[in-house]
Structure 1
Amino acid sequence: MTKRITCVIITCIFVTMCFSFFYRERNMMSRNILKLKAKHRPLQANSMASARKPVSFEHKTYVTERTGQPDIKVTHRVLSQKNIIFVVAYMRSGSTMTASFLEANPGTFYRFEPLRGVYNKFKETKANKTTQLKYSKGSRTFKKTKMANVMMKELQAWLTCNLTSLSMETILDRGYTLHERDSCIKDKRTYRNKTSIQSRQDQIKQCVRNLVKDCVKSPSIVLKFIRLSVQDAAYFLPSFPNMKIIHLVRDPRGIISSRDRVGFHYTKNGSIANLCKDIQSNLFWTKKVFQQYNNRIKIVHYEDIAENPYQLVQEIYSFVGYNYSKDTEHFVTSVTDSAKSSCPFCIKRKNSTETASVWRHTIPEDLAETIYHHCKHSMDVLGYLPLENKFQLRNTNIASRITQNTSKRILQSDLTMPPLEESWLHQTL
């Protein structure tokens, strides 16, 4: 009797252990399946958690204990293997002409200033007020503090060809392109009567569908910016392994003089100091990208393009992996050695070399001295000379900069971040 009871007890214990083991294994398997599904869940291009934790990747700056300098720290997920090129520049630095050389390459999907429409919309909004943006499925209202979120979504949409998620402020923003393929603007008079509104909306939808097809089939995407910093551009490098950055620079005296000629007066909004801070910050982050990504950023002088366009375009093409052809050379000639110069915001110049140095004949001496004073450290790194008197300033036979390996000089220089506000993309990260 005792033996029978003992056998029953042992059998119960064994059965209990088997059931316990079975349920534990089943729960573990369920958790693993959920993790696997989460890992391979397709990216929702329209989803964006918040500026503090983007859906696709995270990029933060932090202060290292050893140097006390901000660095790039990333965790990421690859979103595209496309050949992507960012041209990061400054207003009136020759960026439109430089980007046109890249756009001229067959198979390139190009966008001029993809952030301009949204950026201007937010800029019009006063602090603590809201901005309304229009989308294909209706309007959405954002606080001004959410500008970083919106602009990050817009950029990611361009880079992944998810153009149906773009705001109408972006879609309807007219860009300067060779083919007008990226502009969905038609005659705005069609808005005047109700019968044409639906037709107009259908035209825009069809235009966006065409843009998506063009973007998807193009092996290369080129985006040109004057509203994006090198720091912001570097944010996207981990998730786009074939992305490269061209940091275009120009003598700040030439930039300010050119802005003044087209109506952006240097006396407004502390533009000289702001420009110098932007250049200093971009050089700092250019060095960081050189150190961490080596062959994925190239610094280019506008003056080199203007003076030796064929050589420089070949170097740029080699950097981004383009094939320099006879057609490319003919296009370079049409832009830099045209029969006559086109409008101030257009790309064709009768003589690009003269255009690059025209500021030396028109800029006031005291203004040139002020700009050099504000930008001295950055200009020294870039090789721009002080031109200390009127004779040196006006005599174009005297070089305004030294010939050097600027990339090497940047890596050797002690560059620091200027005391300025964080970039729009990182201000809430």
Structure 2
Amino acid sequence: MKTKYAIIFICIVALVIIEQETNILSRVSHELIQRVTPHPTPQTQQGLPSEEPEEEEDIMDANSHSGGHKHILILATARTGSTFVGEFFNQHGDNMFYLYEPMWHVETKLQAIRVTNGSVLAGIYQDVLRGLFLCDFTPLEKFICPLPQNHMTSEWFGRRSSMALCKKPLCTAELKDVWNQCNTQSCGPLNLALASQSCLTKEHRAIKTVRVGHLDILRPLVEDPRLDLRVIQLVRDPRAILASRMATFPDEYRTWKTWARQGKVPEDDEHVKWLKGECDSVRMSAIVGLSRPHWLRRRYMLLRYEDVTHYPMQKAEEIYSFAGIPFTSQAREWIRTNTQTTPANINPFSTNRNSLEQADKWRFSLPYELARVVQMVCGPTMELFGYSLVDDEKTLVNRSVSLLDPLYLM
């Protein structure tokens, strides 16, 4: 009898233990499923993800790994005013390490050896940009021609436009027969190892480039926990871009200048197709950014050059706020000085000018026929960015008619 009760007791205890283990396994399984299964993102009426407090915590967690460093990339195409906007960071002060078009070396070398594979190009651009943001100049060295010797080079493109590279300890005594002009003084060859050390002492780092083809290329950098990367995509009216390029690069745009004189553009020409492709690429990048994917949440800003020229101080404040960097008095003074003057002879690469006058200057230099073709191939892009189309030359040159609509997507 005692044996019978003992067996029953043992069975009851076993059942209790099994039930407890089952509950534990169930809870663990549920937690694992919750972690692995992606949660649907709430959508707004426009199809853009809404911003939830939980997402803010995610961004704060990501930023905590960056040690307070802010990294900014100005993404643009040629003649969109990127040099001017880049100066907003270049003039920030001693706590900023700003680089002007370092990817020129990469583009030039890859073109010379005819590398065209898209995935290969993307990987190279990612590696070099990551290295620069982390103050490692080694990935870029292999693209500088001739190759640096003992990390020394006199061939750094655009050095004169980077204050960080034109100050001590990076600005050393100039060597004989070595031309390496900085903004206000002559400097000797650039020591890239020393540049890396100097970069590490700066809290914030910014890069301006017109050589990254699409926003998607930057995803691995945005998701890199070592970086707190913010991307500013700068756009401009395609008609203004063409007018500026024709004036700045006359040899490259000789065909367009011929069409301007003839008053007729062959719409199926390769040059026109190339322009369409560039407009499409810029638009697709903006669509990615404006759709607010999780990896770009609060890390993307669409900026129109025309808005900067009309409201430079206000836009500068917005840019600094987006980047998470204090807007210094030094930067304010530079903007105030360089947006209200009109030098007698304006260098096309200069940033010293009356910004408001420059905004519409293209309307009086671009023939209507060329403007019409640009509107034809870049229409969807212009519509997205709020650039109004014109139907005749009279409207084109009428400064009282604004060609800029409000941009509600920013």
Q: Secondary structure at the match of 2:396?
A: helix
- Asked whether the 8 Å contact 2:104–2:211 carries over to 1, the reply is yes
For residue 83 of structure 2, the aligned residue among 93, 96, 100 is 96
Supply the AA of the counterpart residue of 1:217: T
Where does residue 218 of structure 1 map in the other structure? 202
Which structure 2 residues correspond to residues 4-403 of structure 1 after superposition, within 5 A? Answer: 80-81=66-67, 82-106=69-93, 107-126=95-114, 146-167=120-141, 169-170=143-144, 172-175=155-158, 176-179=160-163, 181=165, 189=177, 207-228=191-212, 229-240=214-225, 242-263=228-249, 264-265=252-253, 267=256, 269=271, 270-289=273-292, 292-340=295-343, 342-349=346-353, 351-403=354-406
In structure 2, the CA distance between the partners of 1:347 and 1:323, relative to structure 1 (3 Å rule), is: same
The AA in structure 2 aligned to 1:295 is R
Distance 1:127 1:213, change over 3 A: closer
C-alpha contact (below 8 Å) 1:290/1:297 kept by paired residues: no
Distance of 2:76 and 2:217 partners within structure 1: 12
The residue type equivalent to 2:81 in the other structure is G
Indicate the structure with greater strand content. Answer: 1
- State the identity %: 22
Task: Assess, with a 3 A threshold, how the Cα gap between structure 1 residues 379 and 231 changes in structure 2: closer, same or farther.
Answer: same
Question: For structure 2, which runs of at least 5 residues remain unmatched after alignment?
Answer: 1-61, 145-152, 180-187, 257-269
Deviations 1:122-150 (A, max 9, x none): 1123469xxxxxxxxxxxxxx99854443
Task: Tell me how large the CA RMSD over aligned residues is.
Answer: 3.1
Who is 1:197 aligned against?
Answer: none
CA distance in structure 1 between the partners assigned to 2:323 and 2:303 by the alignment:
13
Q: TM-score, normalised by structure 1?
A: 0.64
Q: C-alpha separation between the residues in 2 aligned to 1:122 and 1:359?
A: 33
TM-score, normalization: structure 2?
Answer: 0.67
Deviation (angstroms), 1:162: 1.5
Q: What 5-or-longer segments of structure 1 have no aligned partner?
A: 1-76, 129-142, 192-202, 408-429
User: 1:316-363 CA deviation, whole Å, 9 max, x = no partner?
Assistant: 1111122224322210022212351541112111x1111111110111
Report the CA distance between 1:235 and its aligned residue. 3.0
Aligned partner letter, 2:323: V
For the residue of structure 2 that corresponds to 1:86, the secondary structure is: strand
Q: Distance in 2 between matches of 1:187 and 1:280?
A: 46
Q: Is the 8 A contact 1:122 1:144 kept in 2?
A: no
Spell out, residue by residue over 1:257-307, the C-alpha distance to the aligned partner (whole angstroms, 9 max, x if none): 100111241747444223212222212221244565331111111001111
Q: How many residues align?
A: 306
Is the 1:365–1:390 Cα contact (8 Å) retained in structure 2?
Answer: yes
- Counterpart amino acid of residue 135 in structure 2: C
Cα distance in 1 for residues equivalent to 2:287 and 2:295: 13
Render the CA deviation track for 1:212-242: whole Å, top value 9, x for unaligned.
1221111111011111122222331110452
For the residue of structure 2 that corresponds to 1:166, the secondary structure is: helix
Counterpart amino acid of residue 332 in structure 1: I
SS of 1:406's equivalent in the other structure is: coil
In 1, are the aligned partners of 2:84 and 2:351 still within 8 Å (CA)?
Answer: yes
CA deviation after TM superposition for structure 1 residue 388, in Å: 1.3
